[in-house]
A = this chain, B = another copy of it.
Amino acid sequence: MTELFTRHRETLERAVDACDKRYSWTAYPESPSSKIHGEEKPRAGKARFEAMLGTDYPLEQPGEIGRTGAEISPYTGEPLGITYPRVDVEALYAAVREGMPAWRDASPQTRIGICLEILDRCAGQLFENAHATMHTSGQSYIMAFAGSGANALDRGLEALAYAHKAMADVPATASWERQFGKGGAAKLEKRYRLVPRGIGVVICCATFPLWNGYPALCASLATGNPVVLKPHPSAILPVAMLVSVGREVLAEAGFDPNLITLVADTREEPATLPLLEHPDTAIVDFTGSPRFGEWIERNCPGRLVYTETAGCNSVVIESCDDLQAMASAVAHSLCQASAQMCTSVQNIHVPADGILAGGERVGFDEVAAALVAGVERYLENPQVLCGTLVDDGILATIERYRSLAAQYGRLLRDSAPLDYPDFPRARTASPLMLEVTEEARDIYRDEIFGPVSFVIRGASADDCLRDATTNARERGAITSHVYSVDEAFLDRAVAAYHAAGASVACNLTGMPINFAAAYSDYHVTGLNPAGNACLTDLAFVSSRFRIVQSKRMV
C-alpha cells in the first residue's frame, strides 16, 4: 500500500527540506515552453481540452440528479457547453461516508503516497489545465499554466509536506512503565491512532481555481478526510479535472473514489450553503470574496474554517534607486492578470512632495507619470500579461470608479479594451488609475476586484505608511510593498506592516512582485481581514486530524 509513497518519497523529502530552509525550489516546471516539453505535449493538451467542449463531462458520482454548468469563455464569449453532475448533497454524502473508514484506517504513508501521485498526474495534465483555466478564469495561457497550474501544485505539495510533518510527530506506539505506591510497577503498551475530522469542503475561486484546491485537498485528504470540491460556477472545468485524477488514483489504489467528489453549480442555483450547513461537514477551506469569507468564519461554529480572501494591497513609495525600475515593478502588478490576483496592488501611496529617486528629487506628478508609463509599456503586448476579465461585473466596477474619479480626485489613466488578435471578442480592460488624496479613503479602502488602482497623495512618507498600514489592519492585505533607500524608513515600514498583521516586501524590482513562492513565502498571515489561514504552515494541517489512543496493561 505504500508503493506510491516510495515512488515519490524523494519529492516529498525535498519539499520538506525546502519548507524547513525556505530556499527557492519547485517540483513542477512552470513554463509551458516547447523547449522543455517538446511540441507534442502542448498540442495534445490543447486537443484534450477542445475535445471536452460541448460534452457531458465524464464523472460518475453518486447522487447525480441532473446536469449543471454554465461556463463561458472570457476569450470567446462562447459557452463551453460542458455539463457536470448536479448532485443531491444528502445522497452524495451518504456515498462519501462509505469510503471513510478504510481511508481513516490507511496509514499516513499510504494516504500521502496517493496525494503525491495525484499531484504528479495533475502535473501531467498542466497543458489541458492551462486551456481550461484560460477559458474559465480568463487567465493568459502562460499564467494559466503557472499560476493556477504548476505554482498551485507546488502549494499542494507544500501542504502535503506539512501534513507529513504533523502526522509524523505522533508516534505509532509507546511502552510506558512506572511505579505506583507500593502496588508494584504498572506497565502499559500504548498505541496512538490518527483520526480524521470528517468531510472537508473546498470552495474554490473563479480566478485561480486550483490555488487553494491542491493545498486544501492535500491537507485534508492526507490526514484522512474526504474532500468535496465546490468550484466557482464560472470555473468548474479545472476543478473537475483534478477530481477526475483524484478519483482515478484512489480507485487504482483500492480506495473508494468518492473520497474526492465534485459539487458543481451555477450562479442561479448555488450549491454552497447546503454543503456548509451539512452536519457531516467538519472542515471548510475557502478562497473567494472577503464578504463571504467573513460570513463563513462567523457562521460555521464547531467546524475548522480556513479562509483566504483579499484586501486592499498597498505600495508605499518613499524613495528608490531607479524610478523606472520601481515604476515598472508596480505597473507589472497593476497589469498582471488584470489585477485579479489576491496579490495585486491596489493602493499606491506617494508623498505629496515627491520622492528621492537615484538621489534626485522627483515630484509627485512625475512619480505618477512614471507609473502610468510603466503600465503603457506593458500594454504594448498585453495578452500574455493581462489576460481577460473573469466576468462582466468587473466592467461595471471599472465604469463605477471612472465615474467617481472627478468627485474624488482625477483620472490618471483611463481603462479601455485591449486588442487580442487571436481573440477579437475577449472581455478585456486595461488598468484604470485614479489619483486621489486621503479624502477618498471611503472608496480606496474597499477591496476592488479588477484593474482599478489609486495613486494616493499622502502628506508625507510616514503619513503614507500610516494610511497604508491602517488599511491593511482594518481592511486586509495579502501583499504589501515598500520602496525606500532609507534604512530607518524601511525598518519603520516593516515594523508598521507587521504591527498591522501584514507581511511586506521591500524594493522588489526586475521580477513579478505579485509572485508568492511556495516553500518560501508564508502566504496570508491570518492576522488581518484578508483571511484567517496561511498557505501553508503547521497550523494549516495540525488540526485536521485528532489522536485517539489505546493502552493495555502487559
Contacts and interface: CB of A to CB of B under 8 A. Distances in A.
A525 B183 contact: no
B510 A184 contact: yes
A22 B551 CA distance: 12
Total identical chains:
2
Contacts of A553: 506-511
Interface stretch (A6-14, A447-455, A538-546): A538-546
A517 interface: yes
Contact of A175 (B23, B188, B193, B302): B23
A444 to B, nearest CB: 23
Contacts of A170: 537
B169 A546 contact: no
Contact of A547 (B177, B506, B510, B537): B537
B538 A166 contact: yes
A178 interface: yes
Contacts of A176: 22-24, 517, 520
A459 interface: no
A503 interface: yes
A183 B332 CA distance: 13
A20 interface: yes
Interface string A466-506: 00000000000000000000000010001001110111111
Interface string A294-310: 00011101100000000
Contacts of A190: 22, 520-521
A59 interface: no
Contacts of A193: 498
Contacts of A498: 193, 195, 548, 550
A149 to B, nearest CB: 17
Contact of A186 (B171, B497, B511): B511
A21 B171 contact: yes
Given A511-B186, A542-B538, A543-B543, A174 B21 contact: yes
Given A183-B510, A195-B527, A534-B547, 12 more contacts: A195-B501, A298-B302, A301-B301, A503-B551, A509-B553, A510-B553, A522-B549, A525-B547, A538-B538, A539-B542, A539-B543, A542-B543
8 contacts: A170-B537, A180-B511, A184-B510, A299-B301, A501-B548, A503-B551, A506-B550, A538-B542
> A-B pairs with the 5 shortest C-beta distances?
A22-B174, A186-B511, A506-B552, A24-B178, A538-B542
